[in-house]
Amino acid sequence: MNGLDLTPFLVGILVFARVGAMFMALPITGNAGVPRTTRLAVALPLTTVLVPTAAGAVLPRTIPELVTAVAGEVVLGVAMGFVLALLSGAVSMAAEIISNKIGLTMAVMLDPMSGAQGSTLGALAQLLATGVFFALDLHLACVRALGESLMALPPGRIVDPLAAGTVLFEVSEVVVALGVQLAGPLVFFSLILNLGLMVLGKMAPGLQLFFSVGMSFTILAGIVLLGAALPAMLHVEAVTLQGAWEPIRRIVQEMGGG
CB 71 within 8 A of CB 161: yes
pLDDT tens per residue, range 93-147: 888 888 777 766 655 555 555 555 666 777 778 888 888 888 888 888 888 999 8
Q: Is 2 inside any structural domain?
A: no
pLDDT tens per residue, range 181-193: 888 888 888 788 7
Q: Is the pLDDT of residue 210 over 60?
A: no
Q: pLDDT grade, residue 74 (50/70/90)?
A: very high
Q: Is 183 inside any structural domain?
A: yes
DSSP classification of residue 153:
S
- The reported pLDDT for the residue numbered 1 is 37
CA-to-CA distance for 200 and 181, rounded, in angstroms? 29
CA-to-CA distance for 230 and 181, rounded, in angstroms? 13
pTM: 0.80
Q: Is the pLDDT of residue 220 over 50?
A: yes
Query: Of the candidates 246, 91, 50, which has an alpha carbon nearest to the alpha carbon of residue 175?
Result: 91
Q: Return the SS3 of 1.
A: coil
DSSP classification of residue 163:
G
Number of domains in the chain: 1
Structural domain that includes position 101? 7-255
Q: Is 1 inside any structural domain?
A: no
Q: What is the mean pLDDT of residues 9-32?
A: 85
